[in-house]
Amino acid sequence: MRGSRGSRRALTGCRPRARGLRRLVFDRLVEGYELAYSDRPEQVRAAAWLVECVGVGARVLDVGCGSGVPIARQLVDAGIQVVGIDISPAMISAAAAAVPRPCSIPVMFWSSPKSNSMARSHSSPC
């Protein structure tokens, strides 16, 4: 039987140190990330398909939301509630800044710091 550390590893798929290194990498990539991924036709098409499938007012969990562009922004623009999570606090900050948060549509972005708790939240101001 595994201890709690082994169980945590099984759930996250990586060791805590490796997860921290990944977080650092994405924290440093945040400035160029949106430029590289903001206008990818396949992502825009996938988001359009999702909007069509779930409809206005649905709630979507965007795992690995990055900077929120284009997916989270496109979903919110279509009237879908978005909860975005990412390993990188810098990406979460970028997503919170890049995605409009109309008062009628709840939007939340979360990051998991070293403590493994969902501690950083950016949500709509309304």
Instruction: Please give the order of strands across the beta sheet that includes 107-111.
Output: 59-63, 81-86, 107-111, 120-123
In this prediction, residue 123 carries a pLDDT of: 59
Please report which confidence band the pLDDT of residue 15 belongs to, taking 50, 70 and 90 as the band edges: low
For position 106, what pLDDT does the model report? 77
Q: How confident is the model at residue 116 (pLDDT cuts 50, 70, 90)?
A: very low
Identify which has the larger pLDDT, 89 or 35: 89
pLDDT on residue 2: 46
Helix crossing, 4-12 with 16-37: angle to 10°? 20
* pLDDT tens by residue, 43-81: 999 999 999 999 999 999 999 998 899 999 999 999 999
Rounded to whole angstroms, the Cα distance separating 106 from 126 reads: 8
So what CATH class is 21-98? alpha beta
Which residues have C-beta within 8 Å of that of residue 107, sequence separation ≥ 6?
A: 72, 76, 81, 82, 83, 84, 99, 101, 123, 124
